[in-house]
Amino acid sequence: MQSIKVAVFALSVIVFFALFANSIPQIESRPPKEVALGADMTPQQLAAAGRQVMDTKGGCFTCHSIGSPGPRAPDLQGVGTRAATRKPGLNAEAYLRESLIEPCAYIVESYQCLMTPMNKPPVSLNDAEINAVIAFLESLGGEITVKPIAVSASSSSSTSQVTDAKTPPEILKAMACFGCHTISSVDFMTGKVGPDLSHISTVAATRKPGLSAKDYLRESILDPNAFIAPDCPDGPCKSPSLMPPIFGDRLTAKQLDMLVEFLAGLK
Amino acid sequence: MLSSDKQNWRPLVRAAFVIFFLLILFTDPALAQSPDPAYREFPLIGSRVALWLVAEVHLMFAAFMLGVPMFAVVVEMVGWRNKDARYDALAKEFVKLVVIAASTTAILGALLTFVLTVFYPKFFNYLANIFSPTFIIYPILFFGESFTLYLYYYGWDRMMEGAAKVGHIIIGIVLNIWGTILMFVANAWLTFAISPAGVDDQGNLVDLWAAITNPTWMPINVHRLIANVAFGGSIVAAYSAIKFLNSKNAEEKAHYDWMGYVGNFIAIIGLIPLPFAGYWLGREIYGFNQQMGITMMGGFLSWLWIIQALLIGILFLTANYYLWVGMGRISGGERYRRYIKYLAAILVVGWIVWATPHSIVASLEEARKIGQFHPLLGVLGVMSAKNTVVNLMILTTFISFLMYRRAGKEARGGGARRVKILQAIMVVSAASVVLFYGVYGYVDIFGLFGDPGSGTPAIIRIGFSVYQVAAVLAALFFVTLLDIFLFRRATTLGPMSWGQMPERSQYALVLLAVTFTWLMGLMGYARNAIRQDWHVFGILKDTSLDAYSPTLGFAAIVISVCVILFFGLIAFIFWLGELGEKKAKLTFPSSESKPAYEPAGSGGGK
């Protein structure tokens, strides 16, 4: 009898712990998503993609911030300007590259060397991603001089291969559309660079005279610059388009059809 | 105790089977070197949860098996030095529990290997390649440990006198050496996954010794060694509590009351240095990789430390509560009753400060909402504050223990008063040092590092915790030393009545054991979750469906299941173990015998 009482007591304690742990904020840690990169991106596209890399795989914002000094690492605001003056003989691009690959070669005053080489594990940015990040850093107060490069096919994190995604959400995920677009009915689609696509079918048919909704959607995926949408989350969409013109190479015909069908159904 | 001599060898046979099974697993090419899939899917609950359950429950059993013999030998030595058969019998009773749990531990270990090889073949193969020599040594060590354990237990009665007793104690020490090496080897594998060393960029082995002695290896070794003792003590105490509650007569009650007291005493001894070992481990993790440290303390795991604070608060409060209730069974304990409320107040306030979130930047939105500091308690949520309160909580527990120790005694002699004042000064100065540096951690009162009243630089601040810990440890050491000297020839104030404990005190022991076990499960999750989507951090990527780290809520449910499985299993095997047992003679320190009020454990632990 006593043993049963003890068992009930022990069980209630365990249940209490489990309930307590479920009552606090619940966060999952997801592996970082790959960002789509192509050799034919414009500087602006490259910078936008670099910003995404920093948000996801780079994990830069655990330490850095932009526009307010962080406790752990320097504010990156204006780094595009000051990069040119950091080290004699190094221009902005070269300095930024060094600060990513050999972070402790130059240590910003009053900070410690905490950053690990970003091209090495665990972060392991590939060359294309490093260039994209440099483009974004340069855009913070400076001029973008770095050129995009294609992801080498040998790299394991390459996204240039066609994926085997089979459903529209899987395709949106595999192509990293979520980095830039929001679709309220798809939970991971929360990007804020390009237009909100939650109700895209209501405007798609009216965008370009003579193009049906589906034709317009197909065109805007294959050739984003053919028509620049009017409203992006941060004001009017920029021209040339920040959306990279690379999806034609990455989607199979079937996947493209599925995607267009899916978008055309978003009322 | 198994009833006939023939049965004595059964566990040994079982252990041999398990080892055989292990060897087959390691050597069977079909299982170990299967080139095909990196993962296989476990039905229903998925591979991750399956591995998690098996590994954690195995670990709990292993911790029990390694922890209990460490203090059992000490208790045996105390009995031998003081020619006190009661301690000897108690030590044997402890070891009996280990013998009963041994084969379950081994079976779970084999099951763990099985799950790893079958469901995570790529990961397992990688580790096996790096650590192949240790994979060969391990079963041998394991066999040595099991064999020594059975020798220790079954040889007990035959090796009671003279040189044989010394030999027996040496066997006990050897048993602990086996166990410690065994754990160090296993720790090398798991710490390598967190902080790999001795391999090149591609993950090829360069230096086996460096891989073994990777940055987190020693901190985890020490942390586990201490935690195992505390854990073993708390499980033994809970076992005694249940036996106490089911006791039929006063003699049984007295015996299990005493046994529970000793178990709890050991648990507290282990609990006190644990936070320090934890800080060391944390520092090594930051040193290995800043980002990993930040993930752990400020990233998605930050809320975990709130749960940890809840659990540790419960541990401290419960352990103290048990001592306070225990003073009721000592005549003379009334004198100290009025202090309890102050001690309780310090513990509760300390607990609240510890549980205050510090710069929890779990998400950016959250960060914007609460800012870097906690909205209400501000700076109280920062690390220096936590160091300060944990040191104060340890001091408070120590005071509770001193009061308990003194409850039934009165020190004699003219010097006694002076010694007591000296002790008080030591405790108060330790507390002042802790508080001073706690405050100095925020405000540079005297302007030593800049303008008076401004903040103290972080780098200097971190060093402060070292002074705090040093002050507390010094006070603990010297006050205890004086106390032993002071009460060596003390007068007693009345009989110590073992067995006269209210039932609620026994529930406190159960609470202690459950909380400790749950805490162990939680720390296991933390240790693994900081690797995030890596099997071996930075080297072997987790590409399975389970590459994400689950939420704390989900983890808590799995941990709870582990704890329930562990207690269910251990209760069942203890019950089985007793089925064939003859009624043994029960002992406890009776009030007539010589060191009447020496609380049983106070001699045993030091």
CATH of the domain at A223: 1.10.760.10
What's the CA gap between A65 and B459, in Å, rounded?
22
Which of B164, B211, B171 lies closest to B187 in space, CA to CA?
B211
Q: Does A62 touch chain B (CB under 8 A)?
A: yes
CB spacing of A26 vs B510 below 8 angstroms: no
B510 within 8 A of B238, measured Cβ to Cβ: yes
What's phi and psi for B499, nearest 5 deg? 100, -20
* CB spacing of A2 vs B547 below 8 angstroms: no
Can you tell me whether residue B289 is helix, strand or coil?
coil
- B19 vs A27, residue with greater confidence: A27
A11 within domain boundaries = no
Residue A3 lies in a domain: no
The 10s digit of each residue's pLDDT in A154-166 is 333 333 345 667 7
Q: How far is CA A247 from the centre of its chain?
A: 16
Residues A214 and A140 in one domain: no
Question: What stretches of B366-511 adopt beta strand conformation (E)?
Answer: 409-410, 491-492
Percent of chain B with pLDDT over 90: 28
| pLDDT of B10 above 70 | no
**A148 and A167 inside one domain:** no
A113 close contact with B: CB closer than 8 A: no
Is the pLDDT assigned to residue B409 strictly greater than 80? Answer: no
Q: Identify which of A3, A24, A122 has the shortest CB distance to residue B537.
A: A122
pLDDT by residue (tens digit) across A188-232?
Answer: 888 788 899 999 988 888 888 888 888 899 888 888 888 888 888
Last-in-domain residue among A103, A121, A155: A155
Mean pLDDT, chain B, whole residue set: 79
Continuous H helices in B535-551 = none
Assembly ipTM: 0.80
Kindly report the average pLDDT of chain A as a whole number: 82
A27 with B303: Cβ contact below 8 A: yes
Using an 8 Å CB-CB cutoff, list chain B residues near A115.
290
User: Given CB atoms, is A89 within the 8 Å cutoff of chain B?
Assistant: no
* Cβ-defined contact of A71 to B201 (cutoff 8 Å): no
Express each pLDDT in B103-144 by its tens digit: 889 899 888 988 888 888 888 888 888 898 888 888 899 899
Q: Which of A127, A155, A183 is the last residue of a domain?
A: A155
Residue spans of beta strands (DSSP E) within chain A: 231-232, 235-236
- To the nearest whole angstrom, how far is the Cα of A155 from the nearest Cα of chain B? 13
Instruction: Based on the fold, state whether residues A124 and A209 are members of the same structural domain.
Output: no
Among B407, B391, B584, which Cα is nearest to B471's?
B391
Lowest-pLDDT choice from B5-14, B316-325, B368-377, B397-406 = B368-377
Write down the pLDDT at residue B534.
82
A29:B295 CB<8 A: yes
- Check whether residue A130 and residue A208 sit in a common domain: no
Report CB contact under 8 Å: B550, A18: no
Beta bridge partners of B464: none
Answer for the pair B354, B386: CB distance below 8 angstroms, yes or no. Answer: yes
Q: At what angle do helices A43-55 and A127-139 cross, to 10 degrees?
A: 100
Q: Amino acid identity of B139?
A: P
| Same-domain pairing of A132 and A179 | no
- B40/B42 Cα distance (integer angstroms): 7
A131 and A85 share one domain: yes
The SS3 call for residue B582 is coil
Whether residues A196 and A250 share a domain: the answer is yes
Give residue B277's pLDDT. Answer: 82
Q: Which residue, among A4, A27, A30, would best test binding to B if mutated, counting the most B CBs under 10 Å from its CB?
A: A27
Residues A204 and A240 in one domain: yes
Q: Among B299, B310, B560, whose Cβ lies nearest the Cβ of A18?
A: B560
- Does B521 score more than 90 pLDDT? yes
Our count of domains for chain A comes to 2
Q: With an 8 Å Cβ cutoff, is A122 touching chain B?
A: yes
Kindly state whether residues A145 and A166 are assigned to the same domain.
no
Give the number of C-alpha atoms closer than 13 A to the C-alpha of residue B501, restricted to the C-beta side: 31
Q: In this complex, do B518 and A63 lie within 8 Å of one another by their Cβ atoms? A: no
Residue A18 domain-assigned (yes or no): no
User: Tell me, what's the pLDDT at A263?
Assistant: 92
> How is chain B split into domains, by residue range?
2-295+498-584
Look at A44-53, A56-65, B82-91, B249-258 and tell me which has the smallest mean pLDDT: A56-65
pLDDT tens for each residue of A8-54: 999 999 999 999 888 877 777 777 777 778 778 888 888 888 988 88
In this structure, the answer to whether residues A172 and A133 fall within a common structural domain is no
* pLDDT (average), residues B381-408: 79
Which chain A residues contact residue B529 at CB under 8 A?
29
Query: Domain residues for A71?
Result: 43-155
Same domain, A60 and A137: yes
Nearest CA in chain B to A32: B533
Residue A118 lies in a domain: yes
Last residue of a domain, one of A131, A155, A179: A155
User: Who among A6, A14, A115 is closest to B242 (CB)?
Assistant: A6
Q: How far, in Å, are A30, B297, B525, B534 from residue B529 at the CA level?
A: 11, 12, 6, 9
From chain B, the residues in CB contact with A170 under 8 A are none
Range with the poorest average pLDDT among B147-156, B272-281, B320-329, B369-378: B369-378
Residue of A18, A62, A72 lying closest to B557 (CB–CB) = A18
Q: Flag whether A180 is in a domain.
A: yes
Q: State whether A104 and A140 are in the same domain.
A: yes
